[in-house]
Chains A and B, each alone.
Chain A
């Protein structure tokens, strides 16, 4: 429709400021800096904030949030959203405690069942969203209901007396250690997950296809990437990661219930957004992980200052709004004609 060529970026000489803004785009410097600053504020203003015990607690909470937000990060990278994460966490926790505590299945069978269940559900999310062009928001919302429902059906309504494996709970006890290290295993698991996901995103063909699909599904198609497969795998992976979080959470809480995962949906989404992963294929999991830590530290400080849960929500919403104001605004319609 227009005679004009798209504006071409010039190769300008990489001045110092230029190079600085470029590395800001590439590495989560702002998030890391914010984390350090906020942490220091906590140390300076709150007694006992810098102690090992408090840090361990922060790390445990952040681990759950971070693992729960891993899938959302991948889904956001391909331009989708997964509203079923909370439900899948709840469902997995219910199933884990029921199959283990109620039916007495061995651990491995329990985990396999739960993870395959999640994989199928997530893959269906991705397939339906891509094949029919249905809004992933609604599709995953629906499949979330299905997940919780099926978990309830299987467990016959579930009862809180059913327990998850004992050793699972040990993974996230503050007093637990890992191979002699003074941190609970869940923190190590989370760090391992960060490494694995980052390697997947940066160094595997699948990772490159995820970014390409998110940057432009059309260009990806023209570069012969099967956008459908990418969606199926990414949504499948998202559910599997959520289920993983659910299993761990079942251990932490001792059992599962239908609302166990709900906070992790919205907080996880917030971590992805604050981390700077946008719906157009920019970002990575390290950013989300740092943001998860940042959010937990902010929460902890707010608690320390005596803010109630309600106040924290308000501050949270406003902070989030400010955090995203800078970089994800939509183009003017007038410019699209």
Chain B
């Protein structure tokens, strides 16, 4: 277990962190030694991102102890104890490569390192990462995304950190760059640097890490030595070892109705593999995957927005066929999209509950140019009952509602347009149990009435209990599809981490 009795660099004990009513971390403990790569593994919502932010000292824990012990080497002035690389490629696009590498290393004025030393260090690391000489003065915007992320990694490494934190930092790298980075990482490990490593690739985790800590529902539940871990044991730990308990009242795998929405040769990004899929009347299709793998892009593309190439076609059942080119057109032909981030993308905080409801169907209430509050109230009341929206008065601000009831009001907003295809982006995220069940019931009812539903969810449980079939996204394309007996927890999680993946493209 103990890698050569190396000193402990980082020790977190019983860390808890809440955001409002959401308990992101319940009890997390982690110990990282010098000279080890310590992976943190967990599915969405297990708390690993929060833990990483706390380790990176970007957020303070509500309780618990976090102790960082530097290695105590004599080091250059740019040294930082902890350096973090994020999944998002955080380069400042207006600046040059070398400026981006050294961004933030200097304090307000100070330029403790001579320019030439900076250039040499940047050039050296970038050469190792990118495998070629980069023009250090070129604008960083000209680089590929992978090379931009290499700049972010270089930014962390030039600080000669004692502890390097990689929060899904490798997902933007192309494979060659990734391999070069891992080689470099192994050398730095031999020098005694500790690494906290989060990745969505099981092969990376197993290939690189020394120890693996598994998280589930805000807790660190086990730390295992890599030699004792296999993909199967890890998946079992993440899923809690429970067998599938698919709800009994679930209808048998849907006999697919007629196709109502079809995607052909759809590419979500310039470099991703094409997607072909169809949604059928009466089915609920789950869209699953680790965060940031194109699930949201897929839903938006099906709504006529943001696809790089390919087509989305609305099949009306009778004979009308529409190529969807814009959300407006999609909405006209009966496709509705409910965004994920309620606060930023769906609710209008200054407006009341009923106004939020009516905003896509304003014309239905308007007589002689004025909105009739009576008509609007009557219209909303129907949805209020059907969705079991609990509210004080319809005219209260939308922000007075709980998350679940807000989401129901937003669902009502779109149901009022009488859609035949519903694209839902994680509709039950952050809402309470009762509201979740109300929404599941609603969706089942809508499907039974013949609606086609595609629902992104970051909760495994939902995929197992609500969906008729589930597509798993990886790297902006469809990686696997499960239905019926193959729709199991293990299969889903394995697919999330690319287990069973053949030679990666």
Q: Which of B147-155, B365-373, B472-480 contacts A (4 or more CB under 8 A)?
A: B365-373
Point out the residues of chain B lying under 8 angstroms from A209, CB to CB: 359, 362
Point out the residues of chain A lying under 8 angstroms from B45, CB to CB: 3
Point out the residues of chain A lying under 8 angstroms from B345, CB to CB: 216, 218-219, 222
Point out the residues of chain A lying under 8 angstroms from B371, CB to CB: 203-205, 208
Q: Counting CB contacts under 8 A, is A16 at the interface?
A: no
A281 & B429 in contact (Cβ 8 Å cutoff) = no
A282 & B403 in contact (Cβ 8 Å cutoff) = no
Q: Contacts A11-B390, A205-B366, A222-B345; is A22 near B397 (CB within 8 Å)?
A: yes
Q: Contacts A208-B371, A224-B360; is A8 near B431 (CB within 8 Å)?
A: yes
A205 to B358, alpha carbons, bound, how many Å? 10
Q: Mark B260-302, 1 if CB is under 8 A from A, else 0.
A: 0000000000000000000000000000000100000000000
A77 to chain B: closest residue by CB = B350
Q: Contacts A9-B402, A219-B339, A225-B359; is A212 near B348 (CB within 8 Å)?
A: yes
Q: Counting CB contacts under 8 A, is B406 at the interface?
A: yes
Q: Mark B12-29, 1 if CB is under 8 A from A, else 0.
A: 000000011110100000
B21 & A10 in contact (Cβ 8 Å cutoff) = yes
Q: Counting CB contacts under 8 A, is A329 at the interface?
A: no
A285 → B minimal CB distance (Å): 14
Q: Counting CB contacts under 8 A, is A211 at the interface?
A: yes
10 closest A-B pairs by CB:
A5-B430, A7-B20, A8-B403, A205-B362, A215-B348, A3-B49, A4-B24, A282-B350, A281-B350, A4-B19
Q: Counting CB contacts under 8 A, is A323 at the interface?
A: no
B346 & A208 in contact (Cβ 8 Å cutoff) = no
A337 to B167, alpha carbons, bound, how many Å? 13
B49 to chain A: closest residue by CB = A3
Point out the residues of chain B lying under 8 angstroms from A199, CB to CB: 370
- Interface positions, chain A 229-246, Cβ under 8 Å from B, are none
Point out the residues of chain B lying under 8 angstroms from A224, CB to CB: 327-328, 331, 360
A282 to B398, alpha carbons, bound, how many Å? 13
Q: Counting CB contacts under 8 A, is A53 at the interface?
A: no
Point out the residues of chain B lying under 8 angstroms from A211, CB to CB: 348, 350-351, 355
Contact with A9, one of B327, B360, B392, B401 (Cβ below 8 angstroms): B401
Q: Counting CB contacts under 8 A, is B405 at the interface?
A: yes
A221 to B327, alpha carbons, bound, how many Å? 9
Point out the residues of chain A lying under 8 angstroms from B180, CB to CB: none
A32 to B45, alpha carbons, bound, how many Å? 47
A7 to B431, alpha carbons, bound, how many Å? 10
B22 & A222 in contact (Cβ 8 Å cutoff) = no
14 A-B pairs within 8 Å (CB atoms) are namely A2-B53, A5-B22, A6-B20, A6-B343, A6-B430, A7-B19, A8-B21, A10-B402, A11-B405, A219-B339, A224-B331, A281-B350, A282-B349, A282-B350
Point out the residues of chain A lying under 8 angstroms from B430, CB to CB: 5-6, 8
Q: Counting CB contacts under 8 A, is A331 at the interface?
A: no
- Interface positions, chain A 176-219, Cβ under 8 Å from B, are 199, 203-205, 208-209, 211-212, 214-216, 218-219
Point out the residues of chain A lying under 8 angstroms from B449, CB to CB: none
A26 to B342, alpha carbons, bound, how many Å? 22
B46 & A3 in contact (Cβ 8 Å cutoff) = yes
Point out the residues of chain A lying under 8 angstroms from B406, CB to CB: 8-9
Point out the residues of chain A lying under 8 angstroms from B53, CB to CB: 2
Q: Mark A293-337, 1 if CB is under 8 A from B, else 0.
A: 000000000000000000000000000000000000000001001
A22 & B400 in contact (Cβ 8 Å cutoff) = yes
A8 & B402 in contact (Cβ 8 Å cutoff) = yes
Point out the residues of chain B lying under 8 angstroms from A225, CB to CB: 359
Known: A5-B403, A8-B431, A280-B349. 20 other contacts (CB 8 A): A1-B88, A3-B45, A3-B50, A8-B430, A9-B400, A9-B402, A10-B21, A203-B370, A205-B371, A208-B355, A209-B362, A212-B348, A212-B351, A215-B349, A218-B344, A222-B339, A223-B413, A280-B350, A282-B349, A334-B58
B401 & A11 in contact (Cβ 8 Å cutoff) = yes
**What bracket does the count of chain B residues touching chain A fall in?**
35 or more
Point out the residues of chain B lying under 8 angstroms from A219, CB to CB: 339, 344-348
Contact with B348, one of A25, A203, A216 (Cβ below 8 angstroms): A216
A222 & B346 in contact (Cβ 8 Å cutoff) = yes
A2 & B347 in contact (Cβ 8 Å cutoff) = no
Q: Counting CB contacts under 8 A, is A14 at the interface?
A: yes
A43 to B20, alpha carbons, bound, how many Å? 48
Q: Mark B58-92, 1 if CB is under 8 A from A, else 0.
A: 10000000000000000000000000001110000
A205 to chain B: closest residue by CB = B362
A208 to B370, alpha carbons, bound, how many Å? 11
Residues of A within 8 A of B (CB): 1-11, 14, 22, 25-26, 199, 203-205, 208-209, 211-212, 214-216, 218-225, 280-282, 334, 337
B88 to chain A: closest residue by CB = A1
Point out the residues of chain B lying under 8 angstroms from A282, CB to CB: 349-350
Instruction: Identify which of B24, B343, B350, B373 gathers the most chain A CB atoms within 10 Å of its CB.
Output: B350
B362 & A222 in contact (Cβ 8 Å cutoff) = no
Point out the residues of chain A lying under 8 angstroms from B403, CB to CB: 5-6, 8-9
B350 & A215 in contact (Cβ 8 Å cutoff) = yes
B303 to chain A: closest residue by CB = A222
Point out the residues of chain A lying under 8 angstroms from B347, CB to CB: 219
Q: Counting CB contacts under 8 A, is B48 at the interface?
A: yes
A209 to B369, alpha carbons, bound, how many Å? 14
A14 to B400, alpha carbons, bound, how many Å? 10
Point out the residues of chain B lying under 8 angstroms from A2, CB to CB: 49-50, 53
A334 to B57, alpha carbons, bound, how many Å? 11
B505 → A minimal CB distance (Å): 25
Contact with B363, one of A203, A205, A220, A221 (Cβ below 8 angstroms): A205
A190 to B390, alpha carbons, bound, how many Å? 41
Instruction: Identify which of A203, A220, A222, A282 gathers the most chain B CB atoms within 10 Å of its CB.
Output: A222
B358 & A222 in contact (Cβ 8 Å cutoff) = no
Instruction: Identify which of A5, A6, A223 gathers the most chain B CB atoms within 10 Å of its CB.
Output: A5
B370 & A204 in contact (Cβ 8 Å cutoff) = yes
A8 to B432, alpha carbons, bound, how many Å? 10
Point out the residues of chain A lying under 8 angstroms from B413, CB to CB: 223
Point out the residues of chain A lying under 8 angstroms from B491, CB to CB: none
- Interface positions, chain B 135-166, Cβ under 8 Å from A, are none
Q: Counting CB contacts under 8 A, is B95 at the interface?
A: no
B429 & A5 in contact (Cβ 8 Å cutoff) = yes
Point out the residues of chain B lying under 8 angstroms from A26, CB to CB: 397
A271 to B39, alpha carbons, bound, how many Å? 56
A209 to B362, alpha carbons, bound, how many Å? 9
A221 to B404, alpha carbons, bound, how many Å? 23
Q: Counting CB contacts under 8 A, is B47 at the interface?
A: yes
A337 to B49, alpha carbons, bound, how many Å? 12
Contact with B400, one of A1, A11, A337 (Cβ below 8 angstroms): A11
Point out the residues of chain B lying under 8 angstroms from A216, CB to CB: 344-345, 348
A105 → B minimal CB distance (Å): 32
Point out the residues of chain A lying under 8 angstroms from B399, CB to CB: 9
A218 to B403, alpha carbons, bound, how many Å? 20
A281 & B348 in contact (Cβ 8 Å cutoff) = yes
B294 → A minimal CB distance (Å): 15
A219 to B359, alpha carbons, bound, how many Å? 11
B30 → A minimal CB distance (Å): 15
